[in-house]
Amino acid sequence: MKNQIYLDNNSTTQIDPDVFNYMLPYIREKYGNASSSTHIFGREAKEAVEYARAQISKLINCDKDEIIFTSGTTESINLALKGTIENSGNQRIHIITSVIEHSAGLEVCKYLEKYGIEISYIPVDKYGIINPDDIKAKIKKETVMVSIITANNEIGTTQPIAEIGNICREENILFHTDAAQAFGKIPINLKYLNVDMISFSAHKIYGPKGIGALYIRKGKKKPAVQIHGGGQENSMRGGTHNVPTIAGFGKAAEIARNKIMNEFTVHTIRRDRIIQNILNKVNGSFLNGHPVKRLPNNINVGFRNITNSVFINKYKEFAISTGSACSSETLQPSYVLKAIGRTKEEINSSVRIGIGRFNTEDEINYLIKRITEDYK
């Protein structure tokens, strides 16, 4: 085995070598500005941007002009929520979200509350699943948007997005979802989902960091611009296009589209094998999140006889985490695990394992062997 095995693929992923090689010409040779149409360098850059837009749209089955490039999921969420509020025209505004959103969504909501926006936070059950009826019960005439994460970044639980979307469509309310974890991992077909806006990033699907997108359904009122400038991205987001990362994003989406069903199957089998071995062979172990309705590559388990910091230090050969990468520096107990009813002791004994495209069968077997044989 190599010195360390990377198992934190819900935090970020290794860039796929094919993606990296695809990006290089746009760094070295095709370095034009996509807004400069008077010469070949600019036209090549523009073609790369539009081709990437088409590649991404094919992965989620939407029109390419419904994709707006951003710097990542966080910016996309900010644009979706703040922009929608700014463009609503309502004097009183109400948003419905959940208690287990990524911090990118929750922090925006906390910010909006300072300016008089009413936010309803929907609870979850012991598996981290939202009851769509709870959302329906909270809807009122001031409600302008529902924003629910597709799959939780810590416990991997997936939400009933189709049902929630149907409710929003019936009530004529905008529906936004943070799909950073789900995009490219589980099938998303926007021709059959009543979702109006989706936020996602490249670095969760073996693409470059610093590039993401916001899908905005055609025909829906667009959010107000949050970054003003030169009118790029159909006047939705100013700033010179980062052509190399956009090209890489497109390539990563193309690869994901070709691999998604096979990887879904392989990761699910490996995920379940890891979970079952730990639960069956390690005394005091438990699973966080739903056993079936979860991301194919996410394992979040706890060990009642050892803290997660001691566990991670004991198994230094594995790059794993205690939960969300965005909150790992705060040293605060996970609000997601607290929301599903875990005690402080259980929270402090839980770790997240994220398997990925470049993990081998030998690495998975070694992980299982080390944990089940060494810690009982």
Low-confidence ranges of the chain (pLDDT < 70): 1-2, 323-331, 375-376
For 88-144, the pLDDT digits (tens) are: 888 899 999 999 999 999 999 999 999 999 999 999 999 999 999 999 999 999 999
- Best CA proximity match to 353, nearest among 3, 74, 5: 5
Rg (CA), the chain: 21
pLDDT of residue 268: 98
Q: What is the C-alpha to C-alpha distance for residues 120 and 116, in angstroms, rounded to an integer?
A: 13
Quote the mean pLDDT of the chain. 95
Q: Which CATH entry fits the domain spanning 17-255: 3.40.50.1820, 3.40.640.10, 3.40.350.10, 3.40.50.80? A: 3.40.640.10
Strand order in the sheet with 118-122: 67-70, 212-216, 197-201, 174-178, 143-147, 94-98, 118-122
Asked if domains 5-14+260-374 and 17-255 share a fold, the reply is: no
Q: What percent of the chain has pLDDT over 70?
A: 97
pLDDT of residue 324: 54
* Residue 71 burial by Cβ neighbours in a 10 Å radius (0-12, 13-18, 19+): middle
For 19-43, the pLDDT digits (tens) are: 999 999 999 999 999 999 999 999 9
**Segments making up each domain of the chain, as ranges:** 5-14+260-374, 17-255
**pTM, full prediction:** 0.95
- The residues assigned a catalytic role are 326
**CB contact at 8 A, 64 and 57:** yes
Fold of the domain built from segment(s) 5-14+260-374? Aspartate Aminotransferase, domain 1 (3.90.1150)
Q: CA 31, 37, 41: angle at the middle one, nearest 5? A: 25
Eight-class DSSP state of 115: T
pLDDT of residue 89: 82
pLDDT of residue 219: 93
pLDDT of residue 91: 82
pLDDT of residue 375: 61
